[in-house]
Amino acid sequence: MMHSEGVGSWPTPFCFVITGALRKGTMKDKAGRWGWFLALILSAALLPCSMAAADVAESRCDEFLAALRDGRYKDATAHFNSLMSAALDPDKLASTWQQLTAGHGKLLGWELSGRSRAAGNEVIVESLKFERESNLAAQIAVNSRTGEISGFYVIPAPSSLSYATGARFRSESVQVGNAPLLLPGILTIPAAGKGPWPAVVMLSGSGPQDKDETIGPNHPFRDIAEGLSSRGIVVLRYDKRTLLYAKQMDPRHTTVKEEYLDDAVAAVNLLRSRPEVAHDRIFVAGHSLGATIAPEVALKAAPVQGLILLAPGGRKLARTIVQQMRFLEEASHQQLDEIERKANELDNHQMPATENFMGVPASYYYDLDARDEVATARQLGVPILILHGGRDYQAIDEDIAHWQNGLKGAAHVKVETFPALNHLFIVGSGKPGPREYSTAGRVDEQVIAAMAAFIADPLSN
């Protein structure tokens, strides 16, 4: 049984939906300057953290897990911040934990299996050992400044990802871009043989995304990177500039160029500098808004051999926001009518460029509207793979049809839909919505297989 309980502290571009900051009759901006960057994909944000904070976080996790093991639920919740305390009091924590361990027996111990930094938190992953076999791990976020626990999830243990085998690849830390705006990245490289191998750059969705495109306990880009590298493909993923340098970026003068293009072109050039990479077999893959922008990246970084578009948007961003909000029914009719009125102003370019829509200047939307990425994709003349989840309420059939119609007649364009998958390409059921993103899952293996097959032979479509 996988269970996701508690409240993480990850800010998201669609924060008013995922955290409940928007409710019937109430709207609050809790994510700061870039927090209302209403992405087509939710994200986590990484911020620097000292080694001392990491040590405190590990110690705090040990104390928390020991209290769970011993049934001291009041002691366990004593480590929570106010949001966690409101969501999980001792009785609820006891009920949740006992329900979980009923199938696995007593918790016997734990072992550190991963660590990252997210939104001012040190995020610790501990593989859990029970009396009976399990494949579970605890993901615990600890505030780097206060030492309080700000998120707790039970997730599949890292080793349980069947299509990604650690022995088949190695990971290397790299830096993307140019000083003073260097971006930390991870290059995953096949372990068998010397290469050179085909390679792909991953472009995440809008807003302050980390290199794993983290949302709650899910890490779609890590899943994809490790899955592809286990199949003989080099993958580069990196933190976005809007994540690490938001304070240095003036939203009034930020466009897709600053958010995506400069760094993505640098990422492709980094791959070209690597001896492990076959320089004539480099691909660009994007997710959500990253998919929408991918053709322009490929054009500016040409030549590339192909594009992989994961849930690309096709409608204007303001229209997409309105549709999502109406679908989710998370706001009053009055709020929705007002948001739609503003979206119409944007569509008609009647809103002053400096005025904000959902916390983002109209100038950004206008810059995005001026780009014709479908025409750019056709101009490239390279093979294109478009992947879509049938349960995706963010990039919907209308978006995919926009690409299909625009690329009609172009050679080597393939569209594949996976009926059971959501916007993160993770299996789900029932009416889709952002709350399911707080449940741990993995990118479906069919997606990894489709991407790998395309990279191996893009002309077979």
> So which residues are the catalytic ones?
288, 392, 423
Q: Provide the token pair at 212.
A: 């794993």
Contacts of 152 (CB under 8 A, 6+ apart): 5, 6, 8, 64, 84, 88, 138, 139, 140, 141
Q: CA–CA distance from 418 to each of 239, 361, 388, 428, 458 (Å)?
A: 28, 35, 6, 11, 20
Q: Provide the token pair at 179.
A: 């000083």
Which helix (H) or strand (E) segment holds residue 307: the answer is strand 306-310
Q: Of 460, 285, 309, give the one whose Cα is nearest residue 388.
A: 309
Q: Rounded to whole angstroms, how far apart are CA atoms 173 and 185?
A: 6
At 130, is the secondary structure helix, strand, or coil? strand
| Total Cβ atoms within 10 A of residue 280 | 11
Q: Of 312, 278, 297, give the one whose Cα is nearest residue 176.
A: 297
What is the radius of gyration, based on Cα positions, of the chain? Answer: 22
